[in-house]
A and B are shown apart, each in its own frame.
Chain A
Amino acid sequence: MLAPMEITVETLQRLGGFAWTDAELEAIRPGVLRLLEMLERLESVPLDAIEPTTQYRML
C-alpha cells in the first residue's frame, strides 16, 4: 500500500507536466488557493442526479 502523500501546489504542478521555479509558484499561489476554495464550495451544491454537460450542445 502506498504511503499517504501530501498534495501540494508543487506536486500538482509536476503532475501537470510543468516545471516552475519557486518564485513562479509563489506568484500564483494566492490565485490557486482562491480558485481551490471556490471549487470546494461547489461540493455543497446538490448535484447528485444531474448529468454533466460533458458534450455541450444546446440542441
Chain B
Amino acid sequence: MSDLVWLSMAELGRMVATKEVSPVEVARAHLDRIAALDARLRAFITVCAESALEAARAAEADLMAGKITGPLHGVPWAPKDLYSTKGIRTTGGSKILAESVPSKDATVVSRLSQAGAVVLGKLNMHEFAYGPEGLNAHYGDARNPWDGSAHRIAGGSSSGSGVAVAAGLAPGSLGSDTGGSIRIPASLCGITGLKPTYGRVSRAGVLPLSWSMDHVGPMARTARDCALILGAIAGYDPDDPTTSVLPVPDYAAALGGEVKGLRVGLLRAHFTDVATPEVRAAVEVAARRLEQAGAVVDEVNLTQIDHVAAASSAIVASEAVAYHAGWMRTRAQDYQPDVRERLRIGAFVSGAHYVRAQQVRALVRREVDEALAKRDVLLGPATPIAAPVLGERDATLGDGPSDVRSALIRLTRPINFSGHPACAAPCGVTASGLPIGLQIVGRPFDEATVLRVIDAYQRLTDWHTRRPAVA
C-alpha cells in the first residue's frame, strides 16, 4: 500500500503544488486502498472511482497550465452521504433515498470542488443521521478499524467519515453534527473532528435531521487539515438563512502558535467526572500537558447541563418528525427499526414542550457564554467511553449505569444545544488499544482558537499519528 494514504491533506496539497506527486497518483492510491479494505470496513456507500480520476486529471491539467486553486488543489476527500452531490446518488443512508440523484451540489461540496478537492465517494452513516452508534441496516454497519478481531462501532452518525479517515481511505471528510455526530466518531476512531459555531458553515443541500441543531464540519487526522477544510467551506451563503455574515478568518494561518497564557477551563461536573476512569485520566493528563506548555487551567462546573437531555430530545425529535412526516405516513417500513421508533416518539412532543426546550437552550447557552467570558476555551472528554462492541447496550459511567446510546451523546449534545464551536481529537488509548477523545469548546465564531489549541496539543503529543489495527 502507498504511503500517500497516510499523508495529511496539507502535505498532499503541498506535494501536488510542487509537482512532487500527481493528483491522479494520489486519487489512485486512495481508490486502491478503498478497494482493498472497504468490503470489511464498510466506510463507503458509493465509491466514485471514475469521476474521482476524472477530477484528478482535471486538477493535474490545471496544475500543468499553471493554475492552482489553493492548498486543497488535487487533494481527495469524501463527504458523508447526506451532502447533495450533483449526478451522484445521495442516500442519507436510507432505502427511501437509495436512488435519489441531486441536480446540484450542496454549497459546501461546491466550495470544496472550487478549491480543487477531489470527491472519492459518499460515506456511510446512521440512517438519516438519527443515531450516535453509526449503524446502518441498509448498507451495512461501518466497522471501527481499531479492533482487528471484534466488530466495534465507529460512532455516529458520521460513522463512514470516522472509519475512512482513520483507516487511510480518505484524508478528510465532511460530517454533520446534531448531537455529536462529528465528534463521537472522531473520538471513537481516533481522528480530529470540528463542529463549528451554528451559522458558520452553510447547511444548504445537506439533508436535515434537526434544522436548529444541525452543524456541518470537517473531519480529518489533524487540526491543520480541519482548518484547511473549514477555510474553504465557511462563510455566508444566501441559500442558508442561518449563516453569518461575519468574515471568515484564515484558520490555517492562526495555527502554529503557543498556548502560553491561554485560559483553559477543565469541565468537571457532567463532563470529565462522568467519564470512565481511563477516559477521565487521559483528559486530565491532556489538561496537565497544556498546563505544562503554559496554559492556565482551572476547573468549571456547568450546572444547567442536567436539563439538556430532555430539552435537546424535544427539539431534535419534533424537528425530525416534522421533516420525515410524509415518509413516515407512506413508507414507515422502509426505515431501519431504531430510527423509525425515534421518529414516532417525536410525534408526542407538544408545541409547549418545544418552546420550553428552546427557553432551556437560551439558559444553557448563557451559562456556556459565562464560562467562556473568563476563559479562552473549555476542555473535557468528547465521549465518556471508548468504542463499544457492536450490540453492546450498557455502559458504566462515573456516575452510574447508562445505556450506550445515551452515554455516547452525553458530552457532545450540550454543545449542539448551545451552538458553540467544539473540536474532538485523540488524547490517549485504553488498555485494549482503543482511542480516547477530548473536546475543546470555544467562544462563538472563535474556531481559530479552538483549532489553535488542538494544533498545539498535536505538536506536543503523537496520539493523532497512531494508526489503527485494521490499517
- Closest Cβ of chain A to B199, distance in Å, is 5
**CA gap between A9 and B343 in the complex, in Å:** 15
Query: What residue in chain B is nearest A36 (Cβ atoms)?
Result: B348
Tell me which residues across on chain B come within 8 A of A4, comparing CB atoms.
none
**CA gap between A2 and B359 in the complex, in Å:** 32
Contact at B325–A24, with CB atoms within 8 Å? no
A39-B310, A39-B349, A58-B445 known; A20-B344 Cβ under 8 A: yes
Query: What residue in chain B is nearest A14 (Cβ atoms)?
Result: B347
The answer to the question of B235 belonging to the interface, with a C-beta cut-off of 8 Å to chain A, is no
Tell me which residues across on chain A come within 8 A of B356, comparing CB atoms.
39, 42-43, 45, 47, 52
Contact at B242–A57, with CB atoms within 8 Å? yes
* Segment from B16-24, B35-43, B360-368 that makes contact with A: B360-368
Tell me which residues across on chain A come within 8 A of B345, comparing CB atoms.
28, 31-32, 35
* Partner of B197 from A12, A13, A58 at Cβ < 8 Å: A58
**CA gap between A41 and B246 in the complex, in Å:** 38
Contact at B363–A17, with CB atoms within 8 Å? no
* Segment from B46-54, B138-146, B311-319 that makes contact with A: B311-319
**CA gap between A16 and B350 in the complex, in Å:** 10
- Closest Cβ of chain B to A11, distance in Å, is 11
- Closest Cβ of chain B to A55, distance in Å, is 9
Contact pattern, B 323-360, Cβ under 8 Å of A = 1, otherwise 0: 00100110000000000011011011100010111111
Tell me which residues across on chain B come within 8 A of A35, comparing CB atoms.
310, 313-314, 317, 345, 348-349
* Partner of A42 from B200, B347, B357 at Cβ < 8 Å: B357
Contact pattern, A 12-37, Cβ under 8 Å of B = 1, otherwise 0: 11001111100010011001100110
Query: What residue in chain A is nearest B444 (Cβ atoms)?
Result: A58
Contact at A41–B310, with CB atoms within 8 Å? yes
Which residues in window 273-325 of B have CB below 8 A to A? Answer: 307, 309-311, 313-314, 317, 321, 325
Tell me which residues across on chain B come within 8 A of A54, comparing CB atoms.
355, 358
Contact at A18–B362, with CB atoms within 8 Å? no
The answer to the question of A3 belonging to the interface, with a C-beta cut-off of 8 Å to chain B, is no
The answer to the question of A1 belonging to the interface, with a C-beta cut-off of 8 Å to chain B, is no
Tell me which residues across on chain B come within 8 A of A47, comparing CB atoms.
356, 359-360, 363
Tell me which residues across on chain A come within 8 A of B313, comparing CB atoms.
35, 38
Tell me which residues across on chain A come within 8 A of B314, comparing CB atoms.
35, 39, 42
**CA gap between A9 and B344 in the complex, in Å:** 11
Tell me which residues across on chain B come within 8 A of A24, comparing CB atoms.
344
Tell me which residues across on chain A come within 8 A of B359, comparing CB atoms.
47, 50-53
Tell me which residues across on chain A come within 8 A of B325, comparing CB atoms.
16-17
* Partner of A39 from B242, B353, B362 at Cβ < 8 Å: B353
* Partner of B341 from A27, A38, A56 at Cβ < 8 Å: A27
**CA gap between A27 and B246 in the complex, in Å:** 47
The answer to the question of A5 belonging to the interface, with a C-beta cut-off of 8 Å to chain B, is no
Contact at B419–A32, with CB atoms within 8 Å? no
The answer to the question of B212 belonging to the interface, with a C-beta cut-off of 8 Å to chain A, is yes
Tell me which residues across on chain A come within 8 A of B309, comparing CB atoms.
38
A12-B348, A50-B359, A54-B355 known; A59-B307 Cβ under 8 A: no
Tell me which residues across on chain B come within 8 A of A20, comparing CB atoms.
344
Contact at A52–B310, with CB atoms within 8 Å? no
A45-B363, A58-B198, A58-B199 known; A52-B348 Cβ under 8 A: no
Contact at A53–B310, with CB atoms within 8 Å? no
Query: What residue in chain A is nearest B321 (Cβ atoms)?
Result: A16
**CA gap between A12 and B351 in the complex, in Å:** 13
Contact at B199–A32, with CB atoms within 8 Å? no
The answer to the question of B244 belonging to the interface, with a C-beta cut-off of 8 Å to chain A, is yes
- Closest Cβ of chain A to B329, distance in Å, is 6
**CA gap between A52 and B353 in the complex, in Å:** 11
Contact at B344–A28, with CB atoms within 8 Å? yes
A28-B341, A59-B246 known; A51-B360 Cβ under 8 A: no
**CA gap between A32 and B310 in the complex, in Å:** 12
**CA gap between A36 and B317 in the complex, in Å:** 12
**CA gap between A28 and B340 in the complex, in Å:** 10
**CA gap between A56 and B312 in the complex, in Å:** 14
The residue among B310, B314, B321 with the most chain A CB atoms within 10 A of its own CB is B310
Tell me which residues across on chain B come within 8 A of A18, comparing CB atoms.
328-329, 344, 347
A35-B317, A50-B359, A50-B363 known; A57-B348 Cβ under 8 A: no
Query: Interface of A with B (CB < 8 Å)?
Result: 9, 12-13, 16-20, 24, 27-28, 31-32, 35-36, 38-39, 41-43, 45, 47, 50-54, 56-59
CB-CB nearest 8 A-B residue pairs: A52-B358, A38-B310, A16-B347, A47-B359, A56-B212, A52-B359, A58-B444, A50-B359
> Could you write out 16 A-B pairs with CB less than 8 Å apart?
A18-B344, A24-B344, A28-B345, A31-B345, A32-B345, A35-B313, A42-B311, A51-B362, A52-B362, A53-B361, A54-B355, A56-B242, A56-B361, A58-B419, A58-B445, A59-B444
